[in-house]
Amino acid sequence: MRDHPNAIMMFAAGFGTRMKHLTKDQPKPMIPVAGKPLIDHALALARAANCDPIVANLHYKPDLLNQHLQSQGIVTVLEQPDILETGGGLRNALPRLGDGPVYTINTDAIWAGPNPLLELAAAWKPDEMDALLMCVPPTHAVGYEGKGDFSIAENGKLKRGTDVIYVGVQIIKTDRLDQMKEGAFSLNLLWDDMLKNERLYGLRYEGKWCDVGHPAGIALAETLLADADV
In single-letter form, the type of residue at position 180 comes to M
Assigned domain for 215 exists = yes
Please state the pTM of the whole predicted model. Answer: 0.96
Write down the pLDDT at residue 66: 97
> Angle 99-105-110 (CA atoms, 0-180°, nearest 5)?
160
Q: 131 with 201: CB under 8 angstroms?
A: yes
Closest CA to 72 of 92, 99, 89, 52: 52
Q: Which domain holds residue 72?
A: 8-229
**Is residue 16 a part of any domain in this protein?**
yes
What beta strand segments (E) does 24-164 contain? Answer: 32-33, 36-37, 54-58, 75-78, 102-106, 109-112, 131-136, 141-142, 150-152, 158-160
Does 177 reside within a domain? yes
pLDDT, position 85: 96
Q: In the prediction, which pLDDT does 2 show? A: 77
What integer pLDDT is reported at residue 1 of this predicted model?
58
Tens-digit pLDDT profile for the chain (230 aa)? 579 999 999 999 999 998 999 999 999 999 999 999 999 999 999 999 999 999 999 999 999 999 999 999 999 999 999 999 999 999 999 999 999 999 999 999 999 999 999 999 999 999 999 999 999 999 999 989 889 999 999 999 999 999 999 999 999 999 999 888 889 999 999 999 999 999 999 999 999 999 998 999 999 999 999 998 74
Q: Tell whether 2 is covered by a domain.
A: no
For residue 25, the domain's CATH number is 3.90.550.10
